[in-house]
Amino acid sequence: MHLELAGKTAVVTGGSRGIGKAIARELAREGVSVAIVARGQEALKAAASELSAETNVRIIPISADTSSDESVKAMVERAVAELGTVHILVNSASTVGSLVAFKLPDVQVATFNRELNVKVLVGLRCIQHGAPRS
Ligand SMILES: NC(=O)c1ccc[n+]([C@@H]2O[C@H](COP(=O)([O-])OP(=O)(O)OC[C@H]3O[C@@H](n4cnc5c(N)ncnc54)[C@H](OP(=O)(O)O)[C@@H]3O)[C@@H](O)[C@H]2O)c1
């Protein structure tokens, strides 16, 4: 696939495994420099080494918790410092749908809010902190 993205830059949250890592790999194959983001540092570093060795493209591991405003702000600052302008943002950081395991009457507001915070508000946080600089 040639998407004419060579030379662009990306931040992929949830990039240490699963769907986020697969997206980071495809972007790197297109010649996009990628900052991958997750909480667990070991998996993050291993994924960055694996993807950069495989694609010969710069992959930067940045540890952050996307449920925390402070942590996302620091992550965006580091990504901008390392990559310059960030052209592409992919939000794939989240726990895999814990609500699916619940029956509707059993869903707790606190659980729902936690899920919403990690899965949905991360997009708003990344855009708020990243957009003024791009
Ligand atoms: N897999 C599927 O078939 C499928 C289908 C439809 C939708 N989805 C949705 O797609 C999303 C990703 O799924 P996946 O299968 O790729 O999940 P996964 O393999 O569990 O990967 C989740 C990634 O997000 C990171 N992460 C989780 N919580 C985080 C947090 N608070 N801050 C920063 N990073 C965090 C994880 O690393 P750390 O834990 O180290 O932080 C990991 O890198 C989920 O929302 C899932 O519900 C998945």
Alpha carbon 87 to its chain's center: 13
Q: What is the CA(34)–ligand 1 centre distance, in A?
A: 17
pLDDT, position 78? 95
**Segments making up each domain of the chain, as ranges:** 9-133
Residue 31: pLDDT band with limits 50, 70, 90: very high
- Of 97 and 76, the one with more pLDDT: 76
Average pLDDT over residues 52-68: 96
DSSP one-letter string for 39-93: S-HHHHHHHHHHHHHHH-S-EEEEE--TT-HHHHHHHHHHHHHHHSS--EEEE--
What tokens were used for 21?
Answer: 């890592």
pLDDT, position 5? 94
pLDDT, position 2? 80
Q: pLDDT, tens digit, for every residue of 106-133? A: 888 888 888 888 778 888 888 887 765 5
Q: Is the CB of 95 under 6 A from ligand 1?
A: yes
**CATH fold group of domain 9-133:** Rossmann fold (3.40.50)
Which of 29, 39, 85 is closest to 62 using CA atoms? 39
Output the residue whose Cα is nearest ligand 1's atom 15: 18
pLDDT, position 43? 98
Average pLDDT over residues 36-43: 97
